[in-house]
Structure 1
Amino acid sequence: MASVGIGIAVLAIKTAAWWVTGSVALYSDALESIVNVVAGLVALWAVTVSFTPADDDHPFGHTKAEYFSAVVEGALIIVAALLILREAWFAYLTPRSLEAPMLGIAINGAATLINLGWAQFLIRQGRERRSPALSADGRHIMADVVTSVGVLAGLALASVTGWTLLDPIMAALVAVNILREGWHVVTASLSGLMDQAMDPAAEERARALISEHAEGALEVHDVKTRIAGRATFIEFHMVVPELMTVGAAHDICDRIEDALKAEIENATVQIHVEPDSEIKQTGVPIV
């Protein structure tokens, strides 16, 4: 909700900067802020849905809703970039002089500082909360900051030199940069929708925890992991002596599950217990 509010405030400030200058580059910057507001609304919806408890129709929860938010945001970024390229082309064909460029630069600079602080906060929160929606929103706003800095530098140079073509050129560069960012947002989200595994270091740590707490088992093999927003799913087969009681095998499973959940937030663990006839001697060694 704060992201939507800040997006609206920044949009108003950047629109004022465009209004006082008539700069197509500042117009493109303001247009991207419209995307920020819409993306914030979509992210708010996605985060709200992702916290909905599991139900009969969605027994594994709703955490993947955040990936849809990130995909929508990437698509919006691409649309904004195409609109900016259109405006830049028309401004290139008909160059226009800038009015009060320094005032516009100052106004836009204030909006850029607000965006910088908020982008850093969102990226940090997205990483800590393992939220694809917050991370995508933060990366998008940080891309907005980078392009705004470029726009301001280009406008300052245009006002000093009188090269009016720098205005549409900077707008075009803004479009190219946010197209690149949109591509990154979409591809990262698609990886999550395709059940991407934990990153190698995290998966290796999970395997180590399994090994440390599987005393009494003979072997663990076929370890699989997948990430679904904040949730992490871990499943594997555990081989125990054929004559071990169900209760004893269950105690081993509890130890492993407790260890994994203590270190991996929102982890769901599924263990398939097998008799020693299924041993493969290729799995996780038992400490």
Structure 2
Amino acid sequence: MDAETSKLIRRIAFWGIPLSLFVMGLKALAWYVTGSVALLSDALESTVNVIAAGLAYGVISYAQKPADEDHQFGHHKAEYLSAVAEGMLIIVAAILIVWEAAGHLTKPEPMDAPILGLVINGVAAIINAVWAWLLIKVGTQHHSPALKADGRHVLSDVVTSGGVIVGLIAATLTGYTILDPLMAIGVAINILFEGWKVISQSVNGLLDRAVTEEEDAAIKKAIAENAAGSLGVHDLRNRRAGPAVFIDFHLVVPESMPVGEAHDICDRIENALHEVISGASIAIHVEPEGETPHGVRVNIAAHRSLKKRA
């Protein structure tokens, strides 16, 4: 990841803090003017958004630190820890909402100034929708688990607000005030589901999950099309750690090939791989013909044949 991209990600993460505080203030105001427990539940979730935004900024800043003696492959995985923590915060928010709403099921109360409260909450939802779109777009484009997790969290908040607004409109029009706490519980169920998704996806990253199928195919194609002079490739592996990708494999060359020629092949392959995945960390083990092959093989001849037919 280049310096400009790193600055962009940090800057977006930082602005999430004041923005989440502003949205939380709007939702708290909506609850204050209406007394709605559903709007209170929405405001409670926004307090988690504030904590999550601060956590995301701190962890992204740490994850972008260069490799050092104690962390020789970098600090990239810190972003996954942030995403797991955020998923847990989402679940805590859901529990708080259920606790608050359960007490109002038997004694639902009518709302004060419902129209004003819904308008205020609607403005907060629109702000969150735009912000969630930006977070997810940048996080996906630059492989930032923390930004994507924050974006999904904010997006769940948008869904929550939409459900609350629809439910409260129904409660106001029908007079069934119990719809207010029922909607709050529905909100909590949706939040629990989102929290689980954030945690499960982040754990996969911590467990050294491989790159996507499309990226894997592009890696194999780049190797096959630039390995002329070698006899084959095996033991090909890759993994992603936040924005970083690690690729390593064995390159088989004729036993009589000079070291310089083998090195030229490695350089050619590395340049091609960097065009496919910018900034990838690549390790190539050169071995002479006659070694027993193992691991994942890349069929160089097949790739060349397909390229000629194309």
Shorter-chain TM-score bucket reads over 0.9
Is 1:98 aligned to residue 118 of structure 2? no
Structure 2 counterpart of 1:24, from 33, 37, 40: 37
2:37 and 2:288 map into 1 onto residues whose CA distance is 70
Is 1:245 aligned to residue 280 of structure 2? no
Deviates more, 1:46-55 or 1:256-265: 256-265
1:265 and 1:26 map into 2 onto residues whose CA distance is 45
Count of residue correspondences? 287
Residue of structure 2 in register with 1:201 after alignment: 214
Residue of structure 2 in register with 1:273 after alignment: 286
1:264 and 1:229 map into 2 onto residues whose CA distance is 13
Deviates more, 1:90-99 or 1:120-129: 90-99
TM superposition shift of 1:279: 5.3
1:104 and 1:32 map into 2 onto residues whose CA distance is 17
Residue of structure 2 in register with 1:72 after alignment: 85
Structure 1 residue runs without a partner (length 5+): none
CA contact (8 A) 1:219 1:279 kept: no
- Counterparts in 2 of 1:1-287, with a 5 A limit? 1-278=14-291, 280=293, 283-286=297-300, 287=304
AA aligned opposite 2:180: D
Runs of 4+ in 1 over 2 A off after TM superposition: 279-282
CA contact (8 A) 1:231 1:265 kept: no
1:250 and 1:279 map into 2 onto residues whose CA distance is 21
AA aligned opposite 2:152: R
TM superposition shift of 1:269: 0.5
The SS at the match of 1:112 is: helix
TM superposition shift of 1:87: 0.7
1:255 and 1:28 map into 2 onto residues whose CA distance is 57
| CA displacement, residues 171-191 of structure 1 (integer Å, 9 cap, x when unaligned) | 001000010000000000000
AA aligned opposite 1:45: G
2:107 and 2:227 map into 1 onto residues whose CA distance is 72
**CA root-mean-square deviation:** 1.0
Query: Given the two structures, how large is their TM-score scaled by the length of structure 1?
Result: 0.98
1:64 and 1:266 map into 2 onto residues whose CA distance is 16
AA aligned opposite 1:248: E
TM superposition shift of 1:201: 1.4
The SS at the match of 1:30 is: helix
CA contact (8 A) 2:81 2:202 kept: yes
Query: Given the two structures, how large is their TM-score scaled by the length of structure 2?
Result: 0.91
